[in-house]
Amino acid sequence: MQLQGQANLASGDERQRMAITQALTNAMGDEDIHQTLTWPWDRLAVSCVPNSAFHDVHHSSAVLLSQMIRQPDFLNIRAEQFIPEHASFHVDQEGRLYYVRENIRSFGRPGDVAEQATNHFFARVDITSHITDVAEFKQNLALLAKMAGLTGGFISSNDRIAVGQWLRFHNLPLPSDEESTKALIDLLNFAVMPDLPDTGNYWALLDAPEDSPFELTKSKRAIIRDITTQLTGNEMPLAEYFGAALVLENAGSDKQPQSLEYRLQRLISDARLLDETGQNYIDALGWFTDESGPKASKQFIEQLLIAAMLLDLDPEVDTANTTLAGFNLYSSAQVQRRPCDVRNDLEAHLIQRFKLDKLIAPLVAELALAGMAPEYLVRELPPSLKVGTPGWVILCQAVGLAESIVPGCSRRLTYEHLLGFSPISGLTPQLNDLHAMAGIDPVVTWALMNGLVQRDADGNLSLETINKGIKAYNEHVQTLSTALNAINKPIPRRKALALKELTSNVPACDPHERLVKQRGSGGGGASKVSVLDLYMSDQLHTQDWGRIRGRDIYQEFPRLKQLYPVADLYETAVHDHYNDLISGLSTTIRYVFSQMEKSDKRFIEHGRLAIYRVEAYKQHFSVGSIPEATRERTGRYGVIICAEYQGTLVRCFELFPLRSECRSTPELREKVGQYLFTYAQDGTRGNFVKDNGLLDTPLDLDAYFENVAPRSDTKSSVFVRKIGEFDSASHPTFSNKPMAYFNAERIKAISDLIAEQHPFLAESELADMGRDSTEQELAAQKFDVIFNSLLNLIIPFKECIEGLSSGVPARQRGAIASCVMDAALVAFVFASVPAQVGKAVGKSASLATKLLSASRIGTRTVVSLLNPLDGIPTLLTGGVKLMGRGAIKLAGHTAAAAHIVRAQLYRLTGAHSYNLLRALDHTGAAARIRMSLDTVAHARALFKSDGLETAEHVLKHLQANDAKLLKNVPQTELQHLFEGSLTDLARQSDTAQSLKKVLDSDVVDSLIRQQAQKFSLDNLQQFKDHTTLPELFNDLLEVEYKNLTAMNQHQKTLLASDLGKAPYSGFLDDVSFNPDHLTDNTDRATAWILKASSSRNEVDNIRTLLREFSGNGKSLTDPAVYKELHRRLVPEATDALRSPTAQARYPSNVSGAAMLEKHLAALDSAHEHFGKQMLGAFLGYHSFVDGNGRTARAIYAITELRANRFNALPLPVENALSGLG
């Protein structure tokens, strides 16, 4: 999950994802899509990127379709139907064939017309009826239709595919509106998984599930601690023991600067490299004792040693704990602290309690937090983010979601990235499940930290208490969201209100019909005015206006005379909006107060207060008179609060509500506060002054007038005027309880007063902004005057200056109403929305609201988590344990969801750094026993159903994807059962029996087993019918049988042919492959191989091999010999399966290898054309995944060199010999 620009662009999947994202983004900006095409994802075209997951599945079918459309019969049909030469073709999953045109539409991007974007659209014409009479075409269409089911609905004859089919291929929902399209773009932008160090998840062993053979039970933890004691003699912590060399390296004055990441990896590697340390633990635990079984990997040993280091400090260490060795990460004392400060305190605690070296303590803290509280490790946290706030809840939920997909990944992610990833959780059911499960702990922890709920005397949490905490959080979030929405809501527009009223009461009337003045004065000649404008200007009801000809409009629409006055509608709407705005502003101020330092809170809560607005100060000079100062405009965006506490202490605060900032400095008290009181003769402070002029104060006027961040090095002269006053209060103190403080009546009263007496926008100004003056009204009063007065108000908001200064009145009027509220958005500190995420997802306040709303917990989630049948309520006991994380650890269905999401995101992005094969196998004993049974017995035991009798029954059960049926089943076990069912059905097929007549049974079984592993449960569930995938599997086997029998026949024909005659005769002229005029036969052979091969390097390697094998006399038909030659020619080759494919005439590498071995046994190395026979066999059977051409040509060259000659073969001869031409 990393940002688009950070991913590995060499990945085909990554480049494909970026192409899809760009196409979606372009589509979003094309108004034609919204108006006419209605989200045409199956028509929106994009290029298919080679080496992507989609390309790998689609390519062979695309080649089959392209071969079909080049056949003579099809070319005749194409000519008869006048199908253009440049047309491409598609086959859908219903077996329909289309010829396709691609249309291009260019448009200017919104906000930058000069920048052009382009969309490409498919236009399909169904031509199926014209080809169904051709039997071969009909058969091909049936096969292509099945393959289209795997590729999202279509097969294309070229490299152009539909966006919709790519989305279906990746099991992503097709967007249906603008909002869901933006959400999908966010998913694609933020879905890339991060790279993890070789160690992987530090807590892989400490967080092992209950049924894992590696679960660290109480007894195993005791064993680990015993070994630790033997190593350290209880003289130092194990981490200190392992880090001795690291500490020593950094002890001198010339030590080199090193990152924490480097030091941590050094600590882990040093621990592993100590003699037999890891093995001591493994032997004592009784793991990996089978001599013939798997051995502990480097990664496993490192994870075991990490566990040992942490268990040495705290034998109860666990992901569900909030306390490490007596330090509570989530006590009430941590509320509203910066996470970096909490972490520093943890490190100091480790140093003080365990005498850890100050170099080692941060490393141990990193290891501990990675499992217990990975949110503390997230990179680039904003300074404003505090522990125990709703913003922290949102972060913890995002971290929980990311960690449930890839454990250990959040320490590699930025805050920005996590917030970008979190809102996309609703796009797939599995992501939604994971987000719901990850959401409960942070909310309940928030309620506990803020003192809204408490554990009982035994440290337990009841269901009632949990629901109470969740209810408190949801209500608090609703309050904040309401405030955000009130400030973010578009202002009322008079024209929109009038249009709605007009069309709802007189729907048949055209609001834009233009009428002329027929009675009264002021008609302006024959000027025409629309019905809507007349209604807005309160003239429609007068009946002075009418049509030039035709029926009287008032007779046709008599209700036009009785419409509710627009002025009254608008006044009510503005008033309601303004009240909501003031309420939202008050909530903002309450929140800002609740986030202040405790000592500052006491002054606001209990002190005697006066609140002042700031007014600009300007001196005027006139000749011969005394200079005087005048008040200018008022600063809309801030107030000064002067507080006297306990009759003696004074503090002054600057409050900027729209910046969520309230600050106090000693200088402010000295230079401002002392001038806000009256004083008795003895110097005793009296009442607050009503107003005063202050010179050279430490106030930044730009902050008050332009809503910018206040600067500390600026001085200004100002007038201050009191807008409110509060007496001191003696109620109980809430300053150490942020939520109680937020909800306190006094804090609400103070906030209400400031919002009401000093709003950043007056109700009359709000009304002017949305007035939408008609042309008549603008003619009556100069628009420039209105515009300029409003411009003075909104000039601090820089977002929309382009529109306002365009010089186009229509654009200016629209900009006024749309931009003012955009600029006044409140990005509350609780959300701390990063700019990049704001750009990707939408406006900051809108995103903040979405994040807050998504963080709320529903009742159903709690019920599903606390299902007594799962035995989960036991997790609610135990001091300071978290309750949700333990539940996630036990919930098999959630683990399965994580597996599905992880696989989906990897295939989506092409990021494979988290190697699932190297991840620790936690499969429990029960699952292992079930997996040892045959397929049907396995399914019966798993699903507890004796009605399952065949592999087809099992597939039907799996295809149903019943959440209850598959709950708590490990994903590895489900995949094993799925592969077994598919394999059993394939083995029973007629095609498999036919293959066994050509190949040995074990070869056929191996082919079927490896091919089954290429499919997943996702593939099975892509089809409506559970029989479709087995049928597709059988089609692949039929292709294999067809290719294999055809190649066997070709090789028999080759052996019986005179290879000295055409088409097998002829040699290649040296000019075409030997430009350097080499004369040595080995050099010439090397040059020929390199020219014919796709590999243009390794000249020395090939030359060396040719000389070695041409001189060693080894039999080239011996499998050990030619496999060694291939291995050394193509060292990067793998043993993976190359599946059967209809696009080529050779078989799979499994069948090809078996048949090649049989065929070579019958060859005579003394035959004069032995080299040609060998080349034809190696090319034709294609027995390797890669490097078949190089190996075939090398073997031919060796036979020639053994005969003291070298005659290069041209490509037509190679094709004739191989049968692949």
Nearest-angstrom CA–CA distance, 346 and 324 = 9
Long-range contacts, 819-823 (Cβ 8 Å, 24+): 819/794, 820/491, 820/761, 820/769, 820/793, 820/794, 821/487, 821/488, 821/489, 821/490, 821/491, 822/797, 823/794, 823/796, 823/797, 823/798, 823/799
Buried b (16+ CB within 10 A) or exposed e, 395-417: bbbbbbbbbbbbbbbbbbbbbbb
Mean pLDDT of 406-428: 77
Helices assigned H by DSSP within 237-338: 238-242, 244-249, 260-273, 277-285, 298-313
Residue 1067 pLDDT greater than 80, yes or no: yes
pLDDT of residue 904: 61
**pLDDT tens sequence across 1078-1110:** 999 999 999 999 875 545 557 888 999 999 999
Nearest-angstrom CA–CA distance, 831 and 386 = 10
Mean pLDDT of 30-42: 72
Flag the least confident range among 142-151, 496-505, 689-698, 786-795: 786-795
pLDDT of residue 7: 38
Could you tell me which of 617, 678, 614 has the C-alpha nearest to residue 641?
614
Which residue shows structure tokens 């680039």?
380
Whole-angstrom distance between the N-terminal and C-terminal Cα of the chain? Answer: 45
DSSP state of 560: G
Nearest-angstrom CA–CA distance, 199 and 1220 = 47
Nearest-angstrom CA–CA distance, 256 and 263 = 11
Nearest-angstrom CA–CA distance, 961 and 957 = 7
Q: Which two tokens mark 1189?
A: 């051409």
Which pLDDT band, with edges at 50, 70 and 90, does 455 fall under? confident
Instruction: Determine the residue type at 1024.
Output: K
pLDDT of residue 664: 93
Which residue shows structure tokens 């949801």?
474
Taking a C-beta distance cutoff of 8 angstroms, is the pair 1172, 1216 a contact? Answer: no
Handedness of CA 960, 966, 971, 977 (dihedral sign): negative
Q: Which two tokens mark 5?
A: 């620009």
pLDDT of residue 84: 85
pLDDT of residue 1093: 52
Q: Cβ contacts of residue 412 below 8 Å, gap of 6+?
A: 194, 195, 196, 379
Which residue shows structure tokens 């001599």?
291
Q: Which two tokens mark 1015?
A: 């499919």
**pLDDT tens sequence across 728-777:** 998 887 878 888 999 999 999 999 999 999 998 889 888 877 777 766 65
Q: Cβ contacts of residue 542 below 8 Å, gap of 6+?
A: 520
Which pLDDT band, with edges at 50, 70 and 90, does 307 fall under? very high
Q: Which two tokens mark 554?
A: 């008032």
Q: Cβ contacts of residue 1100 below 8 Å, gap of 6+?
A: none
pLDDT of residue 391: 86
Angle subtended at Cα 783 by Cα 778 and Cα 789, rounded to the nearest 5 degrees: 140
Flag the least confident range among 28-42, 698-712, 908-922: 908-922
Measured CA to CA in angstroms, residue 645 lies from 59, 376, 592, 600, 730 at distances of 77, 36, 20, 10, 11
Reduced 3-state DSSP string for 948-1012? CCCHHHHHHHHHHCCHHHHCCCCHHHHHHHHHHHHHHHHHHCHHHHHHHHHCCHHHHHHHHHHHH
pLDDT of residue 804: 34
What would you report as the CA-atom Rg of the chain, rounded to the nearest whole angstrom?
38
Nearest-angstrom CA–CA distance, 371 and 359 = 21
Averaged pLDDT of the chain: 81
Q: What percent of the chain has pLDDT over 90?
A: 41
Burial of 1149 (0-12, 13-18, 19+ CB in 10 A): buried
Cis amide bond preceding 374, omega within 30: no
Domains identified in the chain and CATH numbers = 4-190 (no CATH), 387-489+821-885 (no CATH), 513-563 (no CATH), 574-763 (no CATH), 773-812 (no CATH), 925-1043 (1.10.3290.10), 1057-1218 (1.10.3290.10)
Mean pLDDT of 653-662: 90
Burial of 973 (0-12, 13-18, 19+ CB in 10 A): buried
Could you tell me which of 1064, 1109, 1058, 1050 has the C-alpha nearest to residue 1207?
1064
Nearest-angstrom CA–CA distance, 239 and 221 = 16
**pLDDT tens sequence across 588-637:** 899 999 989 889 999 999 999 999 999 988 766 555 555 555 666 789 89
**pLDDT tens sequence across 1149-1159:** 999 999 999 99
Flag the least confident range among 389-403, 579-593, 711-725, 881-895: 881-895
pLDDT of residue 790: 39
Neighbours of 135 (CB within 10 A): 8
pLDDT of residue 2: 31
Helices assigned H by DSSP within 1056-1098: 1081-1092
Angle subtended at Cα 248 by Cα 245 and Cα 249, rounded to the nearest 5 degrees: 85
pLDDT of residue 960: 80
The strand pair at 649-656 and 628-645 is best described as: antiparallel
Of 180 and 777, more confident: 180
Of 591 and 188, more confident: 591
Nearest-angstrom CA–CA distance, 455 and 298 = 42
Q: Which two tokens mark 676?
A: 């806000």
Buried b (16+ CB within 10 A) or exposed e, 1009-1037: bbbbebbbbbbbebbeebebbbebbbbbb
Residue 368 pLDDT greater than 90, yes or no: yes
Nearest-angstrom CA–CA distance, 833 and 239 = 38
Helices assigned H by DSSP within 990-1095: 990-998, 1001-1012, 1017-1021, 1028-1055, 1081-1092
Which residue shows structure tokens 């607050």?
688
**pLDDT tens sequence across 118-152:** 788 888 999 998 887 777 788 888 888 888 988 99
**pLDDT tens sequence across 1204-1213:** 999 999 999 9
Mean pLDDT of 1154-1166: 93
Length of the chain: 1221
Flag the least confident range among 228-242, 646-660, 964-978, 1056-1070: 964-978
Taking a C-beta distance cutoff of 8 angstroms, is the pair 938, 955 a contact? Answer: no
pLDDT of residue 175: 85
Exposure of 433 in the CB half-sphere (CA atoms within 13 A): 21
pLDDT of residue 1049: 94
pLDDT of residue 329: 94
Nearest-angstrom CA–CA distance, 291 and 286 = 13
Q: What is the DSSP string of 814-856?
A: HHHHHHHHHHT----TTT---HHHHHHHS-HHHHHHHHHHHH-
Nearest-angstrom CA–CA distance, 856 and 397 = 10
Which pLDDT band, with edges at 50, 70 and 90, does 25 fall under? confident
Residue 189 pLDDT greater than 80, yes or no: no
Flag the least confident range among 427-436, 504-513, 696-705, 832-841: 832-841
**pLDDT tens sequence across 556-567:** 999 999 999 999
Residue 954 pLDDT greater than 90, yes or no: no
Flag the least confident range among 24-38, 124-138, 601-615, 1015-1029: 24-38
Q: Report the DSSP beta bridge partners of residue 609.
A: 643, 726
Mean pLDDT of 243-264: 79
pLDDT of residue 522: 54
